[in-house]
């Protein structure tokens, strides 16, 4: 039996756990700043929840099995069907718009590669009950503000946005039959991975004149909204969607994240339930897998819960984002573990030192001391490695000496003064560490 974790699964040693905890804090902080509230659902769901609407790609990656009650079940590969089911079940009772977020661990039996594992954590941010494009803009703003909070600007990350309705309207305007939609969408989705001329690519265009294909691909490639507005002003279906996109763009700019935005009709999204504006965040060099993906899925609540309610959301995984942060040197420094180290000067001082440490802990300071007597120089080294700001040297009676590790200064004081001064330090309930480099 192998001693390691299963392929595609991760062990989080404290250093990696600290990185993950830092990212979760950023996610929670920004989501809450936008007025979203946190929820969770079960990690195991009925298989049917995914086979109904998620699409073949994700269904092919399910970790599914029969439970002991002979039910077909699956570990959740995504959060959207769960949250759609939860919201649909209480649709009448919930005040709209519903703005929820969650950080589930998800499981997909993928081919393991850079940026793709068999488990990952994914921030899900979703809005229910608002059909207006204002909600789409709000959603993109959350994703971009998270990038900003991580120290990633528009030079590092781009938000590529499309609208499935725009692509559909263009197909109709170019007289491409609706029966080709699925194949054409799939081909455009793979445009960057499968070169033109590949048999898979060519089969999507059967029966469509080459000049039409070229025209469509030209529009997709340029993704120029203003040019489309001019060219298709006389085609109401296209003009309507273009107008909505123009309003979306001005709202995204109003949110102060317009610089991240790039209209790109090549973004189709693999999941089957999207109905409107869809988007993905990528590293600006385009070298990594998507950091984040989402969009509008107005029909999913109807399909899963019989409730007619517009919905939209995104999922942002921890794997690609952490890789990117590491690559750009923006990964958080390992946080300090301690505020204080209490150093008994000798065996006779040991019990008193334990008592001092206990008092400091009760006052909310992360404090440690040696579990067996050690030399003072060793203790100072251990304290520094743990990031402790101060070492308190304790004898068996009398005052204590407090050494500040940053500058090496040392002060003698009574225990009462020590407790007061540390409490007034603003260090309570923390290690005193900052959370970002
Ligand atoms: P998705 O595009 O399948 O969308 O996943 C969203 C993000 O999760 C991806 O951009 C990627 O960062 C991360 N991710 C997905 N699969 C893996 C994997 N195997 N390993 C590492 N990271 C991964 C959804 O899941 C939608 N349910 C998102 C959504 C929420 N749409 C509406 N609301």
* pLDDT tens digits, 47-75: 999 987 767 778 899 999 999 999 999 99
Q: Which of 315, 318, 325 to mutate to test the pocket of ligand 1 (most atoms within 8 A of CB)?
A: 315
When pLDDT is averaged across residues 258-274 and rounded to a whole number, the result is 90
pTM of the model: 0.92
For ligand 1, pick from 122, 135, 292, 318 the residue to mutate: most ligand atoms within 8 Å of CB.
Answer: 122
Q: Under the phi-then-psi rule, with left for phi > 0, alpha for psi from -120 to 50, and beta for the rest, what region is 307?
A: beta
> Residue 298 C-alpha to ligand 1 middle, in angstroms?
18
Contact 34, 97 (CB under 8 A): no
C-alpha gyration radius of the chain: 28
pLDDT value at position 112? 84
Output the CA–CA distances (angstroms, integers) from residue 148 to 29, 101, 145, 154, 250, in the order listed. Answer: 12, 19, 5, 9, 19
Give the pLDDT score at 430.
45
| Helical H segments across 223-375, by residue range | 225-231, 236-254, 300-305, 318-327, 350-362
**Residue 314 CA, ligand 1 centroid: distance in Å:** 8
The rounded distance, in Å, linking the Cα atoms of 264 and 220 is 7
Q: How far is the CA of 240 from the centre of ligand 1 (A)?
A: 30
Task: Answer whether residue 244 shows pLDDT above 90.
Answer: yes
Instruction: Please give the pLDDT value at position 1.
Output: 59
335 and 366 Cβ atoms separated by less than 8 Å: no
Share the mean pLDDT of the chain: 92
Q: Which of 107, 60, 286, 111 is nearest to 192 (CA)?
A: 286
Rounded to an integer, the average pLDDT of 16-28 is: 97
**Shortest-distance Cα residue to atom 32 of ligand 1:** 313
Nearest alpha carbon, ligand 1 atom 11: 317
Ligand 1 centroid to 116 CA: how many Å? 10
Determine the average pLDDT of the residues in 7-34. Answer: 96
Which residue has the least CA distance to atom 13 on ligand 1?
Answer: 317
pLDDT over 70 at 426, yes or no: no
Name the 3-class secondary structure at 397.
coil
Q: Assess whether pLDDT exceeds 60 at residue 434.
A: no
pLDDT of residue 435: 42
> What does the pLDDT read at residue 436?
42
**Closest to 433 measured CA to CA, from 335, 311, 334:** 335
Predicted confidence band at 238 (pLDDT cuts at 50, 70, 90)? very high
Nearest C-alpha to atom 26 of ligand 1 is from which residue? 315
What is the tens place of the pLDDT at every residue in 117-158? 999 999 999 999 999 999 999 999 999 999 999 999 999 999
- Position in ligand 1 atom list of the atom nearest CA 291: 12
Q: Which range, of 103-112, 220-229, 344-353, averages the lowest pLDDT?
A: 220-229
Which residues form ligand 1's pocket by a CB distance below 6 Å? 78-80, 108, 110, 116-117, 120, 122, 124, 126, 271, 290-294, 313-315, 317, 319-320
Taking the centre of ligand 1 as the mean of its atom positions, its distance from the CA of residue 78, in whole angstroms, is 7
For residue 265, give the nearest of 151, 173, 200, 168 by alpha carbon: 168
Residue nearest to atom 28 of ligand 1 (CA): 315
């Amino acid at each position: 039996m192998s001693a390691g974790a299963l392929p595609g699964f991760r062990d989080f040693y404290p250093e990696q756990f600290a990185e993950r905890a830092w990212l979760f804090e950023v996610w929670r902080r920004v989501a809450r700043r936008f007025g979203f509230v946190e929820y969770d659902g079960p990690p195991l769901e009925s298989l049917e929840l995914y086979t109904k609407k998620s699409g073949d790609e994700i269904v092919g990656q399910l970790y599914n099995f029969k439970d002991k009650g002979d039910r077909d079940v699956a570990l959740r590969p995504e959060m959207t069907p769960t949250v759609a089911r939860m919201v649909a079940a209480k649709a009448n009772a919930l005040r709209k718009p519903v703005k929820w977020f969650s950080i589930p661990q998800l499981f997909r039996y993928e081919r393991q590669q850079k940026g793709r594992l068999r488990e990952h954590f994914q921030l899900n941010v979703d809005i229910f009950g608002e059909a207006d494009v204002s909600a789409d803009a709000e959603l993109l703003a959350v994703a971009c503000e998270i990038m900003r909070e991580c120290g990633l600007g528009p030079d590092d990350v781009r938000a590529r946005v499309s609208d499935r309705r725009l692509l559909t309207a263009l197909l109709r305007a170019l007289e491409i039959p609706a029966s080709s939609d699925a194949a054409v969408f799939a081909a455009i989705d793979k445009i960057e991975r499968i070169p033109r001329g590949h048999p898979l690519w060519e089969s999507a265009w059967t029966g469509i004149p080459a000049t039409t294909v070229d025209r469509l691909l030209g529009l997709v490639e340029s993704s120029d909204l203003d040019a489309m507005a001019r060219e298709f002003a006389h085609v109401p279906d296209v003009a309507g969607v273009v107008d909505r996109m123009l309003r979306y763009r001005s709202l995204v700019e109003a949110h102060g994240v317009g610089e991240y935005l790039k209209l790109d009709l090549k973004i189709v999204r693999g999941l089957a339930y999207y109905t409107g504006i869809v988007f993905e965040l990528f590293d600006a060099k385009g070298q990594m897998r998507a950091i984040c993906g989402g969009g509008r899925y107005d029909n999913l609540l109807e399909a899963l819960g019989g409730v007619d309610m517009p919905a939209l959301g995104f999922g942002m995984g921890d794997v690609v984002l952490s890789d990117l942060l590491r690559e750009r040197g923006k990964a958080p420094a390992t946080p300090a573990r301690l505020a204080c180290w209490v150093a008994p000067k000798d065996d006779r001082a040991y019990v008193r030192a334990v008592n001092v440490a206990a008092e400091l802990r009760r006052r909310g300071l992360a404090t440690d001391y040696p579990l067996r007597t050690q030399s003072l120089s060793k203790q100072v080294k251990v304290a520094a490695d743990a990031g402790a700001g101060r070492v308190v040297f304790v004898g068996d009676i009398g005052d204590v000496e407090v050494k500040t590790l940053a500058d090496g200064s040392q002060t003698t004081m009574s225990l009462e003064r020590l407790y007061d001064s540390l409490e007034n330090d603003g260090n309570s309930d923390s290690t005193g560490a900052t959370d970002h480099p």
